Amino acid sequence: MRVLKSLILVVCLAVSVMAQDAPANNWSQFRGNHSLTGVSQSNVSNSLKQLWTYEAGESIESSAAIVGGTVFVGSQKGELVALSLENGSVYWKFSTGSPIGESSPAYGNGVVFIGDLGGWINALNASDGKKLWAFKTNGEIKSSPVVIGDRVLIGSYDEHLYCLSVRNGSLLWKFKTNGPVHSTPGIADGMAFIAGCDELFRAIRISDGKEVFNVSSGAYTGASPALRGGAAFYGTFDNEVLGVNLGERKIAWRYEHPQRKFPFYSSAAVTGTRIVLGGRDKLVHGLTVDGKSAWTFATRARVESSPAIAGGRVFVGSNDGRFYVLNLTDGAKLWEFDTGAPLSASPAIANGRIIIGSQDGRLYCFG
């Protein structure tokens, strides 16, 4: 089967994703890698064009996973679909029974995982879409699953972070917070980091589910933390972007736009020189790694899409319906494509191609 052949080539890459950016042919989870940096090593064409589209039937707010030549994406129709990255043809569909919101699929060990708004996490055979197991939480799931060896982590609106067995879905541990766990966990040094709706940034040990430390963000947080260089970066609903020093376990800096006071819902993309994220102020913000403004780029509506970065360029959608390509250094616009519907999903990049879904149910492939 074509989908299985394309997956075999990248199985050995799963472990190497842990502490680096997404490899050129693999974007296996939300933000591309365990550190949630949103950065791909893929070579993307300087002259992009639309290659194909797929009609999902209902809104796509979930971001795609790409493994080898296969795209996995969920929709509000309650379907997880596996498609050919080459031409958009469908390999298989799986009905979850509940809409898939912002939870994005994750691939690991031949299995693809997805959460839905009914509170279920489903584990499917990646080659044929057959259900292997399902686990029910007590709240809707908007967090995306993260696979770490024989474990899968995911948050629920029932105020818990869950750790399940990849093999059979059995509960290994769950950690209680004081609010919905919307955040996708970032992984580093044996810990899962979540930025919480309870205004706390937490480090939780993956081996036993015990909290190692927490830092007060001082505000409700809907974004997931990006980890790089011993720091975590995320925006809040108090109109700030925070840089947390993980070694010192404290906030190192705060950024706030001097005039425009709007929440940050988009998760940041982080390189060695730039932090890039969208704001509900209709701007894409480019910061230095010490929290100073390097540039802003104005769109025509709020930016809830989380940017992706490859080859010195930023790729991001806006609720104005446009997909933008910006220069990473100065934020200059290099290209845009008008889809005609809000783009709140985040782009995924692999094999020189970019996948992003829109709220009118159309999935786009650019390359």
Report the candidate in 309, 302, 318 with the shortest Cα–Cα distance to residue 349: 309
pLDDT at 288 over 90: yes
State the pLDDT confidence band at 68, using cuts at 50, 70 and 90.
confident
**Across 309-335, average pLDDT:** 98
In whole angstroms, give the CA distance from residue 60 to residue 54.
11
Q: What is the mean pLDDT of the chain?
A: 95
CATH fold group of domain 2-348+356-361 = Methylamine Dehydrogenase; Chain H (2.130.10)
pTM value > 0.85: yes
Quick one: pLDDT band at residue 8, thresholds 50, 70, 90? very low
Contact (Cβ atoms closer than 8 angstroms) between residue 153 and residue 192: yes
Summarised one tens digit per residue, pLDDT across range 77-115 is 999 999 999 999 999 999 999 999 999 999 999 999 999
Task: Give the rounded percent of residues in the chain with a pLDDT score beyond 90.
Answer: 93
Cβ contact 104:64 at 8 Å:
yes
Q: Is the predicted pLDDT of residue 280 greater than 90, yes or no?
A: yes
Model confidence at 67, pLDDT cuts 50, 70, 90, reads very high
As a whole number, mean pLDDT of residues 221-231 equals: 97
Q: What is the pLDDT of residues 50-63, one digit of tens each?
A: 999 999 999 999 99
pLDDT score recorded for residue 10: 40
What is the per-residue pLDDT for 201? 98
Domain ranges of the chain: 2-348+356-361
pLDDT of 175 strictly over 70: yes
For residue 13, the model assigns a pLDDT of 37
